[in-house]
Structure 1
Amino acid sequence: MEDSLINRRGFTAASLATGFALAVLPVSAETITTDTDSIDAEMVQVPVAGGATMGAYRAVPKWTGKGGGHPVVLVVQEIFGVHEHIRDLCRRLAKSGYYAIAPDLYFRQGDATKVADIPTLVRDIVSKVPDEQVMADLDATVAYVAAHGKGDTSRLAITGFCWGGRIVWLYSAHNPDLKAGAAWYGRLVGGTDPLHPKNPIDLVNQLNAPVLGLYGAKDESIPVSSVEQMRAALADGDKAAKDCKIMVFNDSGHGFNADYRPSYNPADAKVAWKQMLEWFKRNGVPYVPHA
């Protein structure tokens, strides 16, 4: 079944580029596009603090969820924003029975998809996004799902990639109602500043839900030494920390699930995705694919 969800390939370079962030072009011929058969996928507007609204991409199964609501997965963007890859991940999750929603967490600072180079993106947008704001906007996203039906926020998980991988750890320490998290190659240690005062390793004993960490041994931006440092801290932590699990894929580097980039490792990505779904199921956020 999994392969049938992601088998639409063979597009021209021009069509592949549609919807992707400028900073990631050109995209790879291995890029996966998941269709919308049996799911509804659209942009929605989420009310947030200050009377503003935040765009979010959501994908929801068309079939009725158990008890009337589908388990919910917050999908946290890469550094490049909510571009086509993140939207496709939402569709994949919806195919597995989840209400998946990816809020545009940079919307106050700018449109990351329109920035053509990474240094400018980091300087002008990413560095200016406060962690406190991100936590509040994720809370607002959960409230939106709860208010609009179809999603059962009592069964809530979060996953994030790259920049979003770090946010997964932070949100587990923030939301006491979270059931599980899956952090893909998110930074664990490093410098801090007033807008980003804590690293995941600083929050080990504040975690509310177990997190599955998915990392690559060849990741030059997140060295294995920092991953092992986090693993040791979790082992010495309290119950939620001890329940966490970190997997390191020896043949992969940063972004190994990013099928639109040269870093993509299809074998490891497939294993890691399956591990994530099983992790959610084991921790009270079961997936229920349509028969």
Structure 2
Amino acid sequence: MPDLTRRRFVITAAFASGFALAVQPIASSAIMTGAEGLIAGAVKIPAKDGELSAYRAMPATGGTFPIVLVIHEIFGVHAHIEDVCRRFARLGYVAIAPDLFKRQGDVSKLSSIDEIRPVVAKVPDAQVLSDLDAAAAWAVKASKGNAAKLTTTGFCWGGRIVWLYAAHNPNVKASVAWYGRLVGDGMPLMPKNPIDIASTLKVPVLGLYGGKDTGIALDSVEQMRDRLKSSSSKSEIVVYPNAPHAFFADYRPSYREADAKDGWRRLQAWFKQHGV
């Protein structure tokens, strides 16, 4: 095997090993963002009931940085989420992706979505919101984060949490939710859904959804749009007509490059519009 080919194979294999078993094999479209000029890696964050595992990426030099909390999918903090953090760091953010499932189980060791779902079902929203508060506070204390420039973004499971955290923490300046569930029956551990907080939302949230998403009905997206009209948040929702669920996930067959790039461009413009 030629040296360059061997090196590319080793790098790709190492990258793929950072994914949960349930998301193998990894699509060739998976993006690999280098860490040159960054501080990037695993960190521990003090939380209410112990210690929180997380991945952090930030510029290696500079003063204070805007903060973005990257909220993972149902598959947890894996190589794609870490890569997204590095993409943000290259834009000048301190990006932190806390592992919000770890108390209930390590989903990286599970080989199917059917094994993962019972773990995630045990994760209380209140715990998640508290852990995100801890991550935001730690970013300020230990990672040169600017408390006045706090943002969030999240995908799938994390997209739902983005909406809820925007209602929970009024200090968030702007958020972007990627194809997060909007409606559902309230349960003891998950008492509210985004539709329930939409009319009182004050933080501007940009929702990015796929018109061919078989898990999130378009009528629920329209319900959310309607509820948002009565809020003061000036939130918006964009639907990509031909995009499926997880269209930003470049490591999966669901990836749609044009829509993903447009969403990433919109995210940056949204944050800039709101001063972060």
Q: What is the letter of the counterpart of residue 46 of structure 2?
A: P
Which of 29, 51, 69 is matched with 1:74 structurally? 69
Partner of 1:168: 162
- Show CA shifts across 1:237-256 (max 9, x none): 2211xx00100001211000
Structure 2 counterparts to residues 221-236 of structure 1, below 5 A: 221-235=215-229
* Cα distance in structure 1, aligned partners of 2:46 and 2:11: 37
After TM superposition, give the deviation of residue 205 of structure 1 in Å: 2.8
Secondary structure of the 1:179 match is strand
Q: What is the letter of the counterpart of residue 172 of structure 1?
A: A
Which of 36, 53, 56 is matched with 1:55 structurally? 53
Secondary structure of the 1:204 match is helix
Partner of 1:289: none
Partner of 1:131: 125
After TM superposition, give the deviation of residue 106 of structure 1 in Å: 0.6
Secondary structure of the 1:194 match is coil
Secondary structure of the 1:278 match is helix
Q: RMSD in angstroms over aligned alpha carbons?
A: 1.5
**Number of corresponding residues:** 270
- Show CA shifts across 1:47-71 (max 9, x none): 1112x1111100001231xxx2100
Structure 2 gaps of 5+ residues are 1-7
After TM superposition, give the deviation of residue 13 of structure 1 in Å: 6.6
* Cα distance in structure 2, aligned partners of 1:218 and 1:246: 15
* Cα distance in structure 2, aligned partners of 1:221 and 1:270: 22
Partner of 1:152: 146
* Cα distance in structure 2, aligned partners of 1:81 and 1:149: 22
1:277 aligns with 2:268: yes
After TM superposition, give the deviation of residue 40 of structure 1 in Å: 1.1
Q: What is the letter of the counterpart of residue 84 of structure 1?
A: A
Structure 1 gaps of 5+ residues are 1-8, 286-291
* Cα distance in structure 1, aligned partners of 2:255 and 2:86: 19
TM-score where L is the length of structure 1: 0.90
* Cα distance in structure 1, aligned partners of 2:174 and 2:30: 28
Question: Where has structure 1 moved over 4 Å in runs of 4 or more?
Answer: 9-13
Partner of 1:208: 202
Partner of 2:187: 193
Partner of 1:120: 115
Q: What is the letter of the counterpart of residue 40 of structure 1?
A: I
* Cα distance in structure 2, aligned partners of 1:12 and 1:168: 32
Percent of matched pairs sharing the same residue: 52
- Show CA shifts across 1:237-279 (max 9, x none): 2211xx0010000121100000000000011000000100110
* Cα distance in structure 2, aligned partners of 1:229 and 1:81: 28
After TM superposition, give the deviation of residue 120 of structure 1 in Å: 1.3
Partner of 1:109: 104
1:268 aligns with 2:243: no
Secondary structure of the 1:196 match is coil
TM-score where L is the length of structure 2: 0.94
Partner of 1:177: 171
Distance 1:175 1:48, change over 3 A: same
1:174–1:208 CA contact under 8 A, matched in 2: no
